[in-house]
C-alpha cells in the first residue's frame, strides 16, 4: 500500500471503518461521525430502522423480524451493501448530499496492517458506493502513529500498539515506514468475551454485554491488574432458571480469565521486538510503547504492559480517535516532519 501525502491531500473525506466504531473526518469540518458500526434492519421489508448508538441499544431487545447487524467484522467490511447504507445514514442527509455533489470526490480510508486484497477491495467498494471516484488506502498503523504525534519521519524507532475491538496491531516505525509489525486477532471484544464466559462457567450467570464495562470499572480501583477491591457484586440472569440473580465476583478470577487474550498480545510484542534490528531496540527501551485504540482505555492495561515488558508505556491523548485524526491530519496537509511533537515517556 503506497500512497503519497500529495494524493492524500486531494481527498476530502477520511473514513475509519472499525469492528466496533465507524469514524468519519471531513476536510474543513473535522470529526463528524463517531458511532458504533451497527445497523438494525427490518427483515420483512429490508429497510434500515436505525444505525449507530440507537441500533446498538437495540441489541438483544428486538422482536424476531428486526435484526441487528455489524457489517464490519475483524477489521474487515463483510457486508459491503450494509456498510454503505450504514455509513450513508450515519453521515446524515445533509452531509451525504453535500459529498455526492462534490465533483470528483476522493476519499481516504485506513485498513489494518497487511489486510488481504479482498478486504481492501471491500473497503474501496463501500466508499465508491457513497460516491467516491477514487479511494486511497492508508495502513492503520501509520495513520494512528501520525494521529498521536509520534515522530514517524525521524530516524529513531518508535513503537505503536493499536488496541482495537477485533485486532491488536503492533509495529516499530522509523523514517516514516514500518520496520516490523504484527497483527493479532485479539482485541477488546475478546477480553469482554472472556469475562462473560468466566461468569457463565463459574457463576452460571448470563451477563448482558453492556454490563462488562461497569464490572471492569468496579473491579479496577487502580487498575484491573493491580490491587483494586477484592470482589464486587454483579447482576445478571441465572443460566438455568432465567431469573435475575446477583453474584460476588473476585478480581483475581477475572484477571485470570482475561489472561489468555492478554498473553497473545504480549507474545505479539515479543515477536515484533525480536524482528527489530538491535539499534532500534535500544531506541525503544528509552521511548517505549505508545498505546492507541479504544481498548487502550482498559483500566490497568498500561501498567500491566509496563510490568511485563519493563519499557515505558504511554497512552495517547484520546486514543480511540487517534487513527481517524491522523488520517485527517494527512488530508489537511498538517504533517510536516518538524511539526510532529516529540514523544514523551
Ligand atoms: N473505557 C474503556 N475501557 C475498556 N475498553 C474500552 C473502553 N472504551 C472502549 N473500549 C473498547 O475499545 C474497543 C473499541 O475500540 P476502537 O474504537 O479502537 O475499535 P475499532 O477501531 O472499531 O476496532 P478495530 O480497529 O479492531 O476494527 C471496544 O472493544 C471497546 O469495548
Ligand atoms: Mg480501529
At the top level of CATH, the class of 5-141 is alpha beta
CB 330 within 8 A of CB 336: no
Mean pLDDT, residues 143-161: 89
Identify the residue with better confidence: 283 or 183.
183
Other CB atoms within a 10 A radius of the CB of residue 32 amount to 14
CB 279 within 8 A of CB 172: no
Question: Residue 4: pLDDT band by 50, 70, 90 thresholds?
Answer: confident
Q: Mean of the per-residue pLDDT values for the chain?
A: 89
**Rounded CA gap, 238 and 199, in Å?**
10
At the top level of CATH, the class of 151-315 is alpha beta
Mean pLDDT, residues 296-312: 90
Give per-residue pLDDT as tens, 184-221: 999 999 999 999 999 999 999 998 877 888 887 777 76
Mean pLDDT, residues 69-87: 94
Given a cut of 60, whether residue 105 has pLDDT beyond it is yes
CA distances from 86 to 44, 92, 111 (A): 18, 10, 18
Mean pLDDT, residues 66-88: 95
pLDDT value at residue 93:
92
CA distances from 8 to 132, 153, 231 (A): 14, 17, 50
CB 16 within 8 A of CB 110: yes
How does DSSP classify residue 163?
Answer: E
**Rounded CA gap, 86 and 18, in Å?**
13
Mean pLDDT, residues 326-335: 91
C-alpha cell, 134: 477514487
Mean pLDDT, residues 34-59: 95
What's the 252 CA to ligand 2 centre distance in angstroms? 29
Pocket perturbation via mutation, ligand 1, pick of 52, 144, 165, 211 by most ligand atoms within 8 A of CB: 165
Q: Which residue intervals of the chain bear CATH 3.30.420.40?
A: 5-141, 151-315
pLDDT value at residue 343:
32
Nearest ligand atom owner, CA of 36: 1
Burial 282-292, CB ≥16 within 10 A → b, else e:
ebbeebbbbbb
Q: How buried is 213 (Cβ within 10 angstroms: 0-12 exposed, 13-18 middle, 19+ buried)?
A: middle
Given a cut of 90, whether residue 225 has pLDDT beyond it is no
Share of the chain above pLDDT 90, in %: 69
What's the 92 CA to ligand 2 centre distance in angstroms? 22
Identify the residue with better confidence: 152 or 225.
152
Between 138-147, 167-176, 208-217, 321-330, the lowest mean confidence (pLDDT) is in 208-217
Question: Residue 1: pLDDT band by 50, 70, 90 thresholds?
Answer: low
pLDDT value at residue 224:
58
**76-77 and 72-73 strand pairing:** antiparallel
Given a cut of 90, whether residue 222 has pLDDT beyond it is no
What's the 19 CA to ligand 2 centre distance in angstroms? 7
What's the 237 CA to ligand 2 centre distance in angstroms? 32
What's the 271 CA to ligand 1 centre distance in angstroms? 23
Given a cut of 60, whether residue 44 has pLDDT beyond it is yes
How does DSSP classify residue 27?
Answer: T
pLDDT value at residue 341:
36
With a Cβ cut-off of 6 Å, ligand 1 is lined by 18-21, 75, 164-167, 187-189, 192, 293-295, 297-298, 320
Nearest ligand atom owner, CA of 75: 1
Given a cut of 70, whether residue 233 has pLDDT beyond it is yes
How does DSSP classify residue 341?
Answer: P
Give per-residue pLDDT as tens, 259-282: 899 999 999 999 999 999 998 888
Nearest ligand atom owner, CA of 189: 1
Q: What is the pTM of this model?
A: 0.91
Which helix (H) or strand (E) element contains residue 214? helix 212-220
Amino acid at each position: 500500500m503506497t500512497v503519497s501525502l500529495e494524493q492524500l491531500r486531494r481527498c476530502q473525506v477520511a473514513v475509519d471503518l472499525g469492528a466496533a466504531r465507524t469514524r468519519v473526518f471531513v476536510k474543513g469540518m473535522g470529526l463528524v461521525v463517531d458511532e458504533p458500526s451497527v445497523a438494525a434492519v427490518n427483515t420483512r421489508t429490508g429497510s434500515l430502522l436505525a444505525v449507530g448508538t440507537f441500533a446498538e441499544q437495540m441489541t438483544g431487545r428486538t422482536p424476531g423480524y428486526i435484526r441487528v447487524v455489524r457489517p464490519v467484522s475483524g477489521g474487515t467490511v463483510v457486508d459491503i451493501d450494509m456498510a454503505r447504507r450504514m455509513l450513508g445514514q450515519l453521515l446524515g442527509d445533509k452531509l451525504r448530499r453535500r459529498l455526492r455533489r462534490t465533483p470528483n470526490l476522493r476519499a481516504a480510508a485506513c485498513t489494518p496492517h497487511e489486510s488481504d486484497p479482498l478486504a481492501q477491495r471491500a473497503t474501496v467498494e463501500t466508499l465508491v458506493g457513497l460516491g467516491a471516484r477514487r479511494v486511497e488506502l492508508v495502513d492503520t498503523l501509520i495513520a494512528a502513529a501520525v494521529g498521536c504525534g509520534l515522530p514517524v519521519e525521524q530516524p529513531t524507532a518508535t513503537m505503536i500498539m493499536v488496541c482495537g475491538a477485533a485486532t491488536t496491531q503492533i509495529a516499530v516505525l522509523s523514517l516514516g515506514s514500518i520496520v516490523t509489525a504484527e497483527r493479532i486477532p485479539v482485541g477488546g471484544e475478546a477480553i469482554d468475551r472472556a469475562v462473560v464466559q468466566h461468569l457463565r462457567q463459574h457463576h452460571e450467570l448470563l451477563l448482558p454485554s453492556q454490563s462488562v464495562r461497569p464490572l471492569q470499572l468496579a473491579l479496577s480501583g487502580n487498575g484491573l491488574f493491580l490491587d483494586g477491591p477484592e470482589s464486587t457484586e454483579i447482576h445478571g440472569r441465572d443460566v438455568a432458571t432465567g431469573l435475575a440473580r446477583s453474584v460476588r465476583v473476585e478480581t483475581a478470577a477475572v484477571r485470570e480469565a482475561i489472561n489468555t487474550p492478554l498473553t497473545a498480545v504480549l507474545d505479539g510484542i515479543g515477536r515484533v521486538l525480536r524482528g527489530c534490528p538491535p539499534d532500534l531496540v535500544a531506541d525503544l527501551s528509552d521511548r517505549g510503547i505508545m498505546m492507541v485504540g479504544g481498548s487502550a482505555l482498559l483500566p490497568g492495561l498500561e501498567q500491566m504492559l509496563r510490568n511485563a515488558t519493563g519499557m515505558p508505556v504511554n497512552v495517547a491523548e484520546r486514543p480511540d480517535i487517534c487513527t481517524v485524526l491522523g488520517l485527517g491530519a494527512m488530508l489537511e496537509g498538517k504533517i510536516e516532519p518538524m511539526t510532529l511533537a516529540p514523544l514523551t515517556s
